[in-house]
Amino acid sequence: MTRIWWLPVFIILAGLGLGAASAGRVLSPLAGFAIFSAAAAIGLLLGFGLGGLGLYRLFQDSPTAGRTLATAAGPLFIGLAVLASFLSTPGATRNDVTTDLADPPVFLAGPAAGQPYPEDFRVWHRSTYLDLAAQRLPMQADAAFAKARALAESRGWTVAAEDREKGMIQALSRTALFRFEDDVLIRIRASGAESVIDMRSRSRVGRGDRGVNARRIRDFLDAMKGA
């Protein structure tokens, strides 16, 4: 294996690429994610295994020690990089985020339709996303509703349900990498000549979201303010 040191790196990168490319397309998001994770795990196991073997050979003054350690470096680096990317996102241990904990919007359709915001998420949410809050927009509610709907569609979200009287728009968004399905709810309420917009974003699969839902809300509200 030390003679073809690039082969493990090639196999691991191919596994990562296959998992990411097939998720939500050829395979289900979970299946693609499983392939991606397995490739990263193989990188870690192979890297640590070959690294240990290389160190053993080094202590034995074996002439192959350097090549073995060099072969271990690539898989180990890839595996650690993937692991670090999953562990580096703060606040990623839950999957339901909102701008209004006092009166969270309730989904109109889909798996979470009619479900209130989970009580056991509230303490975590308050300590993690202090910056998330409803935004006041200098436009009438009807205009804000139209802007929000157009913006959601421009981002590739699929509008699943809406209630103009309540100012609610629910859309289905898919994550960029593995195309996991997330439900997004936008609520717009009149406030004099202005309007107040708040949101809720929830992952359909998994308990953690690596901060995706919070980033989605921030990006959308920033875009609405810009609009």
- In a 13 Å sphere around the CA of 36, the CA atoms on its Cβ side amount to 21
Calpha distance 117→182 (Å, rounded)? 15
Name the residue among 179, 182, 213 with its Cα closest to residue 21.
179
Tell me what pLDDT residue 206 has: 77
CB burial of residue 208 (10 Å; 0-12, 13-18, 19+): middle
Token digits of residue 145:
């509703």
- pLDDT in single tens digits along all 227 residues of the chain: 445 667 888 999 999 999 999 988 888 888 999 999 999 999 999 999 999 999 999 999 898 888 888 889 999 999 999 988 877 665 567 899 999 999 999 999 999 899 899 998 999 898 889 889 999 999 999 999 999 999 999 999 999 999 999 999 999 999 888 888 999 999 999 998 899 999 999 999 877 788 899 999 999 999 998 75
Residues 6+ apart with CB under 8 A from 211: 89, 90, 91, 92
- Regarding pTM above 0.85, the answer is no
User: Which residue segments constitute the domains of the chain, with CATH numbers given?
Assistant: 2-87 (no CATH), 96-226 (3.30.530.50)
Residue 187 β-bridge partners? 168, 198
Residue 137 β-bridge partners? 195
Tell me what pLDDT residue 43 has: 94
Tell me what pLDDT residue 2 has: 47
Question: For the chain, how many residues are written?
Answer: 227
Residue 201 β-bridge partners? 97, 184
